[in-house]
Structure 1
């Protein structure tokens, strides 16, 4: 089992152990295991470890098809999951739209200030004045009672049918590119069409994050499933590593969100 770790980053060991534990639980109990919300990198790790073996299977769902953060359902092969098994609710934030303007950062900060972990809620969807988010239904009552203010605005939380979720699909742009290496400066340079030198400066100044953690090493090695963000440039994700070119460059499919 120790050979698994060499394929991932040292800091991912605890999560890898958790995934292995989920897999063993399903194998031993013949019952399903529902995880909290996972980011794209964590989803990649789940896929890599569980694989496509017959005894234990997995599916991801975040509330609607194009969500970034998703819960995983790990289950025995005889089970057929449906959306209700993921226990995800869609919630809309009601606030005085004529007097205040709320953004993603304010909403995220207010939810986190309740003492909740980030993995208890999924994507935050914003379209003009409409703000929604996905949440694990087991903590619905807690959030409804305690999330009463965002910034200076008094708010209330209303549950909606998942089919009423805002469609944000058109805000992502996918494209294929080639990079000389998977270093952070190389990926940022290609994703945002800026020079390697500018990418290095942004990283060194603390403006870059990988999987929501600040990274200041330009040589940091990126991998499939990573979510990158650069202040002033938005977010991107490494959707797929597609092998090498004849000149030994990496083929990468990148999703860009501004």
Structure 2
């Protein structure tokens, strides 16, 4: 027989758009929320958006897992993890695993299984099963982004990989067209790096980067000064590219490239 469960409203959440509810047995104590990991590094929550999970990560082959602390769990209990869309029917549930205190219980999640949550807010929680009783943990808010649509940045004067430096005595522009579906808190960046090879070692001679607050309607323009493409050794070249930082607050999350160019100076 299941223990009677009350559904109570949790303390007001800072995560806008997440209707946080908490299930706990009468007289019981709630279990803490799980942790979401990418290659062993935890995702960090934004102060208002929760965890930002880029849709593009669903197409990478890497280790994604959910960690459940087991220190306070009964040794004979079983645990499963539950992904649930906040305002819709999409769900994902793991098989049950037996706890082994004091080690954290890790559930490996195929990244492609999260494609169904594209553009949605969801919560991740776990259920602790003991005999005929089941208790749900606190919820971890997550937002899966919508797949980005973008083009390579356009470099003024670039033809067949070459720039005639004498045609641009006062600098040139690099322009990235609007990135469809980009959203707060993402940051867009344009970069220009001049490199060469010295004694079989790649060496950076010059670099500049400019960052912009993201908007799906915005064009991003970087002015490249003359010194960025003038006066370099013949074998030097530039790499110019765009990138998106989906979660600037989370140093564990890599940026996503929007394409670029290798540029020769003539």
Instruction: Name the TM tier (shorter chain).
Output: under 0.3
**Of the two structures, which has the highest relative contact order with CA contacts closer than 8 Å and spacing of 6 or more?**
2
Rg larger in structure:
2
Pick the structure with more helix per residue. 1
Q: TM-score, normalised by structure 2?
A: 0.23
Greater fraction of residues in strand: 2
